[in-house]
Amino acid sequence: MHSLSGVYAAAVTPISDNFAPDLDGLPALLEFLAGRGCHGALLLGTTGEGPSFSIAERKQVLEAGSRIRETVPTFRLFAGVGTPALGDTIELARFAFDLDYDAIIVLPPYYYRTAGDDGLYKWYSELTKRAVPAGRGLLGYHIPGVSGVGLSIDLLKRLSEAHPGRFLGLKDSSADRAHALALGDAFGSDLLVLNGTDRLFSDALAAGASGCITAMANLVSPDLRAVWDAHLAGRTDPAAQSRLDRARAISERFPPAAALVKDLLAEFHGFPRWAVKPPLEPLEPGRAERARLAWRTRGQIA
């Protein structure tokens, strides 16, 4: 099993009312996640609103996040560094590795949506050669419903063969069970595949996935950890997986995930009511109340 296997939260980014990152709030959130079973967290992913921040703001967030190591030295850190510009992505990747982040997770360059595998191969190869040091790694980020650019299995094979030990694998947020199974058929456990959809966690593990990174892990990491621990013991935990299914259903009813998760963290775990950064908007009061009610009663939701 890969040393970076496990349960990760796609952490929200604490944001003040003036839309600047709340840098003092982030270490407390990460300590909370560590105490609820997360092996680590991804900062500045989709749930972390990464593409909405400037390069300078992203660096501030990554630096603030690294402070978790002062209290939880073993907590693993992934940095979301994807931008449409190769140079900006290289700059952010080097910054993250200088802070001792374990790996970077990188969206494809998402402006030119008709780019083919050859162009994507060159882009990821340049990034890997110029920014990923020995002993650290890069994972592609497959979320075509958001980025508009998918990472094919053939592309993953080319990159992993060309950059062994540095191109590690994939965060699969396709929310597609068939794709999760196809990754397992193609790679088994040879590629570090971290599933991004709570509903598919058990299926993905059975197909060879190495763990998960999900938005709902901010709230339901004990259940994700129960499924993970059962898998390591050669078992399954259908009850925990069923609770994950219900949590995922609520997230799909009340998007965007960043706004929902922040509201529920405040309502049920005492965190500040952090803002979301435009163009995202907070849940309007009526929807927020309905989401909270659904969360309170999710044990009865089919």
Active-site positions read: 46, 111, 141, 171
How many angstroms separate the CA atoms of 198 and 274, rounded? 24
Helix, strand, coil percent content, the chain, rounded in steps of 5: 50, 15, 35
The per-residue DSSP string of 102-130 comes to SEEEE----S-TT--HHHHHHHHHHHHHH
Which H helix or E strand runs over 294?
Answer: helix 285-296
Say how many C-beta atoms besides its own lie within 10 A of residue 163's C-beta.
18
Q: Exposed (0-12), middle (13-18) or buried (19+): which is 297, by Cβ within 10 Å? A: exposed
Distance of alpha carbon 34 from alpha carbon 29, whole angstroms? 9
Read off φ and ψ for residue 78, nearest 5 degrees: -110, 145
**Beta-bridge partner residues of 138:** 104, 167
